Amino acid sequence: MTTEIHPTAIVDPSAELGEGTIVGPYCVIGSGVILGPGCRLHNHVTLAGPSEIGPRNEFFPYASVGQRSQDLKYVGEPTFLQVGEGNVFREFCTVNRGTAPGSFTKIGDQGNFLAYTHIAHDCTVGDHVIFSNNGTLAGHVIVEDHAIIGGLTAVHQFCRIGAHAITGGCSKVVQDVPPFMVADGNPAKVRAINTVGLKRRGYTEETIQDIKKAFRILYREQRNTSESLIELEALPDRSTEIDYLIAFVQTSERGIA
């Protein structure tokens, strides 16, 4: 495979382009950008560095990835962006590098980031995520594997979105959303478990029932979080999913939605 660069594109001499990468019209690739093989930039895409972007990532028009942090504390120190493989960044997506010297924004593999989504400085985004249009992360947010960010969802800085969780459209997330849950509203509250998503990903009915039981303990019985955790830890023959849920809640610094 040969690398193709449209004559109207501007590529910094220090940028590294993997074999088979296609750079379309009017794209700009800045210094310190490393692209893996098989990437495609459609047109009017801007990639800034230092950024290391893995293979087979696709960037649609006007995506701007790897720009400096928007945090006012940032004064030009070297910070970084790491992107895995097989992601899709649709029109007008923006991704910023870290803020503190040497810090990273990190994105995993096989994510689908729809138009106008924003990933701010120092965020960590896992694998197989979906960000619907205008899904927005403030700084230092963690989004775990297989999570879905609903359209026009805004996530407060330092929040976490657990694996297999989903947020409803137009939600305002100001606390952690535990794994497997559905959160919706302003401010977002957990409403149910993500039954449809769990079935699509092959979870057994037995495991889904275990997660439903944990949901009832956390959200439907009149206990505070500490009391609910005690009851969850007392469940016999807990599944690994319940152990994961317990650990997520125990380590929450902002509290759970």
pLDDT for 233-251, tens place per residue?
Answer: 999 989 999 999 999 999 9
Task: Give, in order, the Cα–Cα distances in Å from 178 to each of 108, 133, 163, 242.
Answer: 20, 22, 8, 11
pLDDT, residue 163, reads 98
Which member of 44, 118, 121, 146 is catalytic? 121
Whether 139 is a known active-site residue: answer yes
Q: Are 93 and 117 in contact (CB under 8 A)?
A: yes
Query: What is the value of pTM for the model shown?
Result: 0.97
Task: Give, in order, the Cα–Cα distances in Å from 103 to each of 35, 50, 96, 97.
Answer: 20, 11, 11, 8
Radius of gyration, alpha carbons of the chain = 20
Query: What span, in angstroms and rounded, lies between the C-alpha atoms of 66 and 69?
Result: 9
Task: Determine how many CB atoms are found less than 10 A away from the CB of residue 4.
Answer: 13
**245 Ramachandran zone, left/alpha/beta (phi>0; psi -120 to 50):** alpha
Asked if pLDDT for residue 1 goes beyond 90, the answer is: no
Which CATH number does 199-250 carry?
1.20.1180
Asked if pLDDT for residue 222 goes beyond 90, the answer is: no
Structural domain 4-140, CATH architecture? 3 Solenoid (2.160)
Confidence of residue 4 (pLDDT cuts 50, 70, 90): very high
Please give the average per-residue pLDDT across 199-221, as a whole number. 96
Six-digit token string for 226: 């500490």
pLDDT, residue 76, reads 92
* 225-236 pLDDT tens trace: 999 999 999 999
Please give the average per-residue pLDDT across 75-97, as a whole number. 97
How many angstroms separate the first and last alpha carbons of the chain? 48
Query: What span, in angstroms and rounded, lies between the C-alpha atoms of 117 and 63?
Result: 10
Q: Nearest Cα to 215, choosing from 251, 188, 241?
A: 241
* 169-199 pLDDT tens trace: 999 999 999 999 999 999 999 999 999 999 9
Which member of 38, 135, 139, 168 is catalytic? 139
For the chain, the average pLDDT equals 97
Task: Tell me the one-letter amino acid at 22.
Answer: I
Look at the block and give the residue holding tokens 């039981």.
Answer: 213
Six-digit token string for 2: 């040969």
pLDDT, residue 24, reads 98
Domain ranges across the chain: 4-140, 199-250
Can 4-140 and 199-250 be said to share one CATH topology? no
* 101-155 pLDDT tens trace: 999 999 999 999 999 999 999 999 999 999 999 999 999 999 999 999 999 999 9
Q: Are 71 and 157 in contact (CB under 8 A)?
A: no
Q: Nearest Cα to 105, choosing from 115, 90, 116, 118?
A: 118
Six-digit token string for 239: 């599944």
Which member of 109, 122, 176, 210 is catalytic? 122
